[in-house]
Structure 1
Amino acid sequence: MATIPVGVAGIALDKLFRTTLGRPVPTAIFLALNGIVLFVTEQLRRGGTGRRRAGDSTAAGEEGLSPGELSDQRITRMTMRQAMAIGAAPILALLPGISRSGSTISAGIFRGLNHEDSARFAFLLATPVIGGAALLKLPPLLGAEGNGLRGPLLAGSIAAFVAAYLATRYLVRYFENRTLVPFAVYCTLAGLGSLAYLTIG
């Protein structure tokens, strides 16, 4: 259910966003905005909104489970409405410079999940979303358009798989007791720095 909103939007809007906004200056602006959104999300959570309330307690029958298993148990108790609301957040990632995982984690926090569960759901959600995008993009590469590209594409895909696997394992553990603030600072500074370089330099 969570993949439906971004799947529909991706098919309908991907080309429009890439052709109209896929340039350096808009990308730098959206990257800075991405950092600001992450920072605001953390401030609202810390301000007593209670958005970390879900998933902090251990339900009966869950004793002895690993942190990952506990997180999976909590995620299964999400409502369909909650899942679709969080699943709509990656639509923003069609804009260049906006983080898919960052927007999904922020939406999860706003919808009542804690950091760990939001991150875990974001990475689980990435699998069908990226898989669907691959199904759309790969067919042309199997034809004449892909001549000379298949070898580099295969090597890049393997490298991306290994990097994504290691990053996901690390970040899921990172969000067990840490926040989005370092990523917010990085995105904001990188976006503003890039914007200054592109417009002033």
Structure 2
Amino acid sequence: MQWLEVLILALIQGLTEFLPVSSSAHLLLVPIFTEWPDQGLAFDIAVHFGSLLAVIAYFRKDIAGLTLAWCASTFQGKKSGEARLAWAVLWATVPVGLAGLLAKSYIEHQMRSGVYMGYSLIIFGLLLGWADWRYSKRLKQCSESERSLCGSEYDLSVKQIIGIALAQVLALIPGTSRSGITITAGLLLGLTREASARFSFLLSIPVIALAALLQSVELIGEPQGIAVDKLLVATMLSAISAYACIHWFLLLIKKLGMQPFVIYRLLLGAYLIYLFS
């Protein structure tokens, strides 16, 4: 790989991993505008590891609190909102983990066409827009003092956890966007925009970690040279861009909501269908 490839692909991964716009759809566009070869499994692992480092770094205080609360809940029986959230993250990861193992081969060989991704972007983009519109209506019914409590991730019910967990399975469909579908489910199930996004980001930690672990196992049997310096730069650049993306996304949705991302998804989806049909 050339250095320009490393920089651009790492930036694309970092900037799109946590936005509700599908990172896989953006990476699909790269070979259309360039003649670059496939970056290889080692590079995929490196940039995903960078995204993982970013979300862990951004939510480091939350993760520390959730870990302590989970331990207190497990070994001492102490109940709290943080313990409930920690358990929610764990339980909501189980369905997508099992589905990923069972359907991985089929998805990779049958569902990665540009047209398929285009329709996924549009369909799930419209669903996100509808969910955000419903949330806006619900928000108007809350008083100013109630708005901060109008759907917190620390008060997730069993129904909400199951709903978001099942929605996350849909993220296996290329073009859906894992963050997009989990935020959509959160909004439809009564969470705020910020709570839906934060829960989605926390859910990404075990999901990305499991995916990277599975890819690492596959890498063992892949005969290729690994340029360590380029992998390190890709990891660092992916981490920095992903960290910035999380920060600005959480600020942006407070003011503008999800509609800018919905419009972008519709345009990108239509473009992919045009290119590949």
Say yes or no: TM over 0.5: yes
Write the deviation string for residues 30-50 of structure 1: whole angstroms up to 9, x where unpaired.
12222222222223334x467
* Superposed displacement of residue 77, structure 1: 1.8
* Superposed displacement of residue 140, structure 1: 2.6
TM-score, normalization by structure 1: 0.80
Match of residue 169 from structure 2: 91
1:6 aligns with 2:90: no
Q: Does the aligned pair in 2 maintain the 1:25–1:198 contact within 8 Å? A: yes
**Distance in 1 separating the partners of 2:273 and 2:148:** 45
Match of residue 116 from structure 1: 194
Match of residue 208 from structure 2: 130
Seen in structure 2, the aligned counterparts of structure 1 residues 99 and 56 have a Cα distance that, compared at 3 Å, is farther
**Distance in 1 separating the partners of 2:159 and 2:141:** 18
Give the alignment's Cα RMSD to 1 decimal: 2.6
Match of residue 188 from structure 1: 266
1:7 alignment partner AA: G
Seen in structure 2, the aligned counterparts of structure 1 residues 50 and 172 have a Cα distance that, compared at 3 Å, is closer
* Superposed displacement of residue 173, structure 1: 2.0
* 2:249 aligned residue (159, 171, 177): 171
**Distance in 2 separating the partners of 1:56 and 1:24:** 44
1:39 aligns with 2:39: no
* Superposed displacement of residue 153, structure 1: 4.1
Q: Does the aligned pair in 2 maintain the 1:119–1:175 contact within 8 Å? A: no
Task: Give runs of ≥4 in structure 1 deviating > 6 Å.
Answer: 50-53
**Distance in 2 separating the partners of 1:154 and 1:112:** 40
Helix, strand or coil at the partner of 1:2: helix
Seen in structure 2, the aligned counterparts of structure 1 residues 118 and 58 have a Cα distance that, compared at 3 Å, is closer
Match of residue 22 from structure 1: 112
Tell me how many residue pairs correspond in the alignment.
184
* Superposed displacement of residue 105, structure 1: 0.5
Matched ranges for 1:140-159 at <5 A:
140-141=218-219, 143-145=220-222, 147-149=224-226, 151=228, 152-159=230-237
Question: For structure 1, which segment, 84-93 or 16-25, has the greater mean C-alpha deviation from structure 2 after superposition?
Answer: 84-93
TM-score, normalization by structure 2: 0.59
Seen in structure 2, the aligned counterparts of structure 1 residues 21 and 44 have a Cα distance that, compared at 3 Å, is same
Percentage identity across paired residues of the two chains: 31
1:147 alignment partner AA: Q
Unaligned runs of 5+ in 1: 60-70
* Superposed displacement of residue 110, structure 1: 0.7
**Distance in 2 separating the partners of 1:147 and 1:173:** 41
* Superposed displacement of residue 106, structure 1: 0.6
Unaligned runs of 5+ in 2: 1-90
Write the deviation string for residues 120-167 of structure 1: whole angstroms up to 9, x where unpaired.
1111111111011111111232x3515323634443333222221111
**Distance in 2 separating the partners of 1:149 and 1:92:** 33
**Distance in 2 separating the partners of 1:52 and 1:164:** 34
2:224 alignment partner AA: N
